[in-house]
Structure formats: C-alpha cells, structure tokens
Structure 1
Amino acid sequence: MDKPVKEETVLNGRYKVLNVIGTGSYGIVYLCEELNTNENRVIKQLRPSKRRSKKEVEMFEKEIAVLRMLNHPNIPRLFEAFSNNGDLFYVMSFIEGDNLEDQIFFKKKTFNEKESLLFLVHLLELVDYLHKRDIYHQDLRIPNIILKNEDPFLIDFGLTNQGLSMDSYHSTSPSSSDKQRSILEMKQQDYYDLGEILLYLLYTTYSSESKKALPWTEELSLEKGTVYLLKRLLGITEPYSNTSEISADLHAALLK
C-alpha cells in the first residue's frame, strides 16, 4: 500500500497538504493550500510504488506535457511540476464543485432530453478544443467531469494520447495510414464516451416499471434526432469521423 503524504506536510516549500481528495491506480491527489497566496491548489503525486516502472513514469510525464499545452477556462491549469525525495508531483488549479457522478447518484440531479443535449454541446466544445490540438482524452467518464455553476469542467488527463507524438509510444514507427487509422480510433473512442455520458444523463429521468432490463432504444422515449445521434456516437450505425458532424446532428436534434 502506498501511504499518502500526511496532512500539514509542506511540499516544495509552499504547498501545505490539507487532505487526500482522490486515489487512482497510479496517482494520489491532494487538496493543498499555497502558502504564498492562501489559494487552494490540487497536487497529483505518482504513487511511490510506480516510480520503478519506466512506463508509469512516462505516463505521468506525458500527462504533465499535455496539461502544459492546454489553456482553457474549463480545464485545470498546470502551475508546476517537481520532485521530492524521488517522488514526482505536479500542481494544478483547484476547481470547486462536485463531479457529475456524485451529482447524479448522490444529489439526484436530473436532466431532461433537451438539458442532456445542451450539456453535450458544452462537452463537445471541450472535446473539439482537444482534438484540434491533436489531443485525445480517452477517459471521458462522469467522474472526470466537474460541475461548477452548472458548467462542465474536464479533469484527469492520465490516459490522454497525442496523435503527433505517437511515434514515441511505438517500438517501430507506424506508417502514415496506420497512424491516421489510430488517430481516427482515438477520436471515435472519445465520441463513444460522449454517447455513454449522454445516456447517463437521459436515464436520470427514467423510472422503470419493468423488472426486465431492456436496451436503451426500448426503455427511453426519445426524439428521432437524439436516437440518430446516440446510435452514431456509440457506433451502432456509421460512426462519426469529426466533431463538426456531431455538432451538426446535435444542433439538429435540439431544434426538434
């Protein structure tokens, strides 16, 4: 077991650990106070047990490199990265709010069909921002979306991939066609995840009267445009190849 840094510990001479706010398979996340500004910061630490793994260290460094490339108000801002006694850390902005999973399952937040589609509009804007920079999140899930004043913020870039940097993550350089195919697959993984999130939102207003589990196409009563959008996002029918196509169908569904 990896022991988290103790509360009240001061990291890098300026960040006082307040508490642990999350743990993952390869990272520990702390809420800290920056002593120079009295502002809250989030610090992510690579688990000490993962330091011996070159692959895990590279993933952690890749996450830092990706965050350095991003400058969006709805994505955490990277402040700095540092090491302490061999442990690796990076510091990012703190986003105050609850993640979408907690909002749905603990606070019983609901979304009707129109609200679900409008929420997806905001998420798609974030995905489009990433894809235009050749960055693919690959882990779009409701725990990785924070709601602040009803506005979605995207977090956790630990599984993110960069299309332009794929050569460094292959033992042999891929051909141009293989690379394009891999990039399309990464895009469509993000699109599939958007479809899953949309389904979660739509199910918040669904109450089952049947004990038998049915597919969403039978359980949910949706407008044709929403069904068409979902089937393409989830790859049931022809999958989308870019965010512009999704945006067009999303806005068409909203007009119904």
Structure 2
Amino acid sequence: MRSIRKLFQLFVDKPIKKGVVLKDRYEVLSVIGTGSYGIVYLCKDLKTNENRVVKQLRPSKRHKEVEMFEHEISVLRKLDHKNIPKLFESFSNNGSLFYVMSFIEGDNLEDQIFFRKNTFNEKESLLVVSQLLELVNYLHKKDIYHQDLRIPNMLLNNKDLFLIDFGLSKHRVTVDPLHSPIHSSPNQQDEILDMKQQDYYDLGEILLYLLYTNYSSKNRKALPWTEELSLENETAYLLKRLLQIKEPYSNTSEISTDLQAALKATEKSINNRKED
C-alpha cells in the first residue's frame, strides 16, 4: 500500500518546470527544496525583477493538508521580522495552492555542516543560539510556537541567522473577540508551557549539535555529551536546563540570562588562553 502511495505521489507531485510562469508573474527558476507536504521554488518576480520564494502544496496533499498549508500562511501573515521570510501573497493556479515570500540569501545550517564542513566552537555555537533565542522570544510574544526548530530550518548569511518553515508551528490566542485579556484555563496554561518548552528543548538540541561539529572522538566507545565535550560550567548548565536534565526553563528571559553568563565565561576563558 505504501509503495502504491509513493508511486502515486511520484506521478502527481512532479515539480513545475523551469521557465513556467505562475499567476502571470512568477517565473520558475529552480526547485530549491521539497518537504513532506510542499515543494519550494526560486522564482523571478516579473513585475519587480526580484527573486522570490514560492511554496506549492503538493498536489497529492491538496485534499488532506490544505488546512495545514493555510495555517502556515496565516502564521506568516502575523510576522514582521527582518530575520523571518516576509509573506507577499497566496494564490491558486490550475488547482494547486501557492504562497509567495521573500528570498533570503544563505545556506541552511545542515548544508553548512555536512557539505561545507563548517565547524562551530563553543563561543560561535552560543552566538548562533543567542540569535535563535531572540527569534523564539519574538514568536512567543505573538503566541506563536515554532515546534520544528532544526538545522535545516535555519539559514546563515555571513553571521546573520534567519528562521524559516512554519509548517508545524502553533498559534494560541488567549484574548476574547474584543481583544480584552482573559484568564486561560489551567489546561491552556499547561499546553502553552509544553509548547514553549518544546521550542526550548529544540534550542538545546541545536546547541549540542553545533558543539559536536568541533569535536573529534578519541574513544571507540560513545560517551554522554557531559563526558565527551569540554565545556564551560555555565554552558553545561544551560544545556542541561534546555534539555530538561535539570529544571526546565519556563521563559526566554531565564534562558537569556544563563546564555549571557555562558558567553561571558567562554570569552574569559579565551582571553586567559591568549594571555598564556
């Protein structure tokens, strides 16, 4: 059954060819990504002569994943941040659904690590996560929780970090139709805390991932990261709380305080080594 479904998807989900113009405006230049429910194209906006990113809902998913696709569009409409893609419009074309967003130069972290072989020392890793934390804080203040913070969903242009792919994000509003604050129920509060801490946990996994890019194993036997990595105490403490080994964080302010302490300790260690 699974093989039949894959054959069906292969036949139905053929990417749009280079040179095709969508909505009499967006000329397809190339396919730049494929996901479980979307195909992403680099397009030229024939009206502005600028590059745009156009995401298409896979035709094979148009009956099951429309709500998810429209949810991603609604989330992007609520965002206005220089390090998050800007939504321009959504449209349908020959029965397929699309939306258009700004094109951001840069490689995702996954490509940088595995194809470019880039490595990140402790300070560099903390600085990347510091930028990501600022974006997470921005989202959480808008009651939006990304829920899919992974290295393929982060772009680096020079040292500027950008966050993409809001397909799995969740939006929880705790105001009434008149925009007056209301008290959320204990269940709602627990749900929101769970979503926050999922994003925090993902921050911890990304930090750990980055730190391991600068690690070469000398042991045949795999050891816990607490034994394999030589980290400042402040960085180890930050990681343990993000990964919920110690008391989990409940807000971004707490994380920011500990992250700055880790950066300060790392900087001090670097300066001490220079003096030696």
Same fold (TM over 0.5): yes
**Where in structure 2 are the equivalents of 1:50-61 lying within 5 Å?**
50-53=61-64, 56-61=65-70
Runs (5+) with no aligned partner, structure 2 = 1-9, 175-183, 266-276
Q: Which has the larger radius of gyration?
A: 2
- 1:33 and 2:44 matched: yes
- CA shift, 1:216, in A, is 0.5
Equivalences, count: 246
Q: Could you tell me which amino acid in structure 2 is paired with residue 42 of structure 1? A: V
Deviation at 1:217, TM superposition (A): 0.6
CA deviation after TM superposition for structure 1 residue 93, in Å: 0.4
Secondary structure in structure 2 of the residue aligned to 1:164: coil
Q: Residue 29 of structure 2 corresponds to which residue in structure 1?
A: 18
Query: Deviation string for 1:9-37 (max 9, x for gaps)?
Result: 10011000011111111000001000112
Please give the TM-score of this superposition, normalised by the length of structure 1: 0.94
Q: How does 1:65-80 map to 2 (within 5 A)?
A: 65-80=74-89
Code of the residue aligned with 2:151 in structure 1: it is I
**Residue 132 of structure 2 is aligned with which of 106, 123, 142?**
123
**Correspondence 1:32-181 to 2 at 5 A:** 32-53=43-64, 56-164=65-173, 176-181=185-190
Structure 1 counterpart of 2:19, one-letter code: E
How far apart are 1:115 and its partner, in Å?
1.4
Report the residue type matching 2:114 in the other structure: F
| Shift, 1:52, TM fit | 1.3
SS in 2 for 1:146: strand
One-letter code of the match for 1:46?
L
Deviating beyond 2 angstroms after TM superposition, the runs of 4 or more aligned structure 1 residues are none
Tell me by how many angstroms 1:6 deviates.
Answer: 1.5
Partners of 2:214 and 2:162 lie apart in 1 by: 23
For 2:80 and 2:209, the matched residues in 1 are separated by 28
Which of 242, 246, 249 is matched with 1:233 structurally? 242
TM-score (norm 2): 0.87
Residue range with higher mean Cα deviation, 106-115 or 87-96: 106-115
Let me know the Cα RMSD of the aligned residues.
1.3
Separation (CA, whole Å) in 2 of partners of 1:109 and 1:221 = 19
C-alpha distance in 2 between matches for 1:200 and 1:151: 18
